[in-house]
Structure 1
């Protein structure tokens, strides 16, 4: 799906009764961190009670911060149902009360070598000096938004070899034996709430507009100066066919399309079964249990 890590902040207080259930709270008594308390839950990290900056400074910091990996939830509504019990109060909180301070969005493309990306890529608003290529398998650009382009399949394999937990989606990618290149954008200080992105998730697509790709084969000044031959020499022979497959406009459209294709189903609200369907299911389940008891 199109969202990875997401950090929420709110001035609502956490429900300590829910959080303490089987979880050890780690206090920061020295004041080295922004928040005094921290709890690592199964599907989230919760921080609360800012205490680093004195009374008035702490008042400017949201009381609670919660980190999620959205990929561990089958849809937005399962994330919401997990989130709300973490908050203290008799009434359910509103989505507008959760501000997004950080969000990571992804678009995956199959069989796109990083050599081709480097040859064709131009990112609007960034200078070439801000581009770095790490160990031949990751491209980093800028800081906020922070762009990372990498081979997702290889990353999952490394996680699995180290014994780290991988999500169901990552298992699907691994089992498919497909080579997936991921375009990832991390946005900090995002000016919006959970309500904003649920109302219009398509607005996140605009962040991918900064990716521009060009056909250097068709630019006469580059060809006249021998630039085409220089660029081709930087691309491994087995990856040169992909240059023709992924042309500039097609690749730009594909990044946006793949992002929306994975994002929109995640925000689609599940159909609510009517009461009669639920009763029918429960009745059939009870009949099967009775039949099993009789057989035994």
Structure 2
């Protein structure tokens, strides 16, 4: 005989599990952390388990609202943690995720500069296509205020949205060329790949060596890579995978300390405009 609680859990899982991928995407876009997103979704499942599910007319809307509210609570503590974060903060890298929306890494960084309610309104409406009435109920604001929140967010993130779609193959070719030139010390080829106003951000989180502030401008980025090329030549850097990282072309490497590292490249007009490197091992655990 199967205990009644087992039947309840199985019933809850049957209705919840098909929605889990979407809920995880919502949570990750809100939080920028794979582990925190999974925790929020699991907390939502626990609440779903204790809900009178027969009284819920639209489970997807109910659970999306639950996850969003859990994320809003989480953002408050996350913001405090980031005030004391060592060096630049970057979201945890997602490798070769399904291209179901256009939230690339630069847009995720722009979302970090929004208020939590602006972020929720923008993501739910503009990215996930949720109507303003439901968004308003989710964030506990009226529809007019919710529209204003989304409009403000749209204005703030406009420059972070790509104007032209980069062909995937072209992006991967540039990523492979960047890896080869940066690791071999071919500064001529490397320089030809970079935009004049290129910038580089490296997230070590105080756990691994990384530049502690953005490196901005062609000359400064080139100078940094000349020094890195010496280290790569001495200690090695192994290419593990080339693909998309948070919607950008890039690659995964295993560095001399045995740890993984991701490099994502923002490409504009055929040139690399930004380089995003994640070295913090805490942000790479899910990749193992």
TM-score range, shorter chain: under 0.3
CA radius of gyration, larger in? 1
Give the TM-score, by structure 1 length.
0.23
Per the normalisation by structure 2, the TM-score is 0.24
Greater length-normalized contact order (CA 8 Å, ≥ 6 residues apart) = 1
Would you tell me which structure has more strand in proportion to its own residues? 1
Q: Greater share of helix residues, 1 or 2?
A: 2
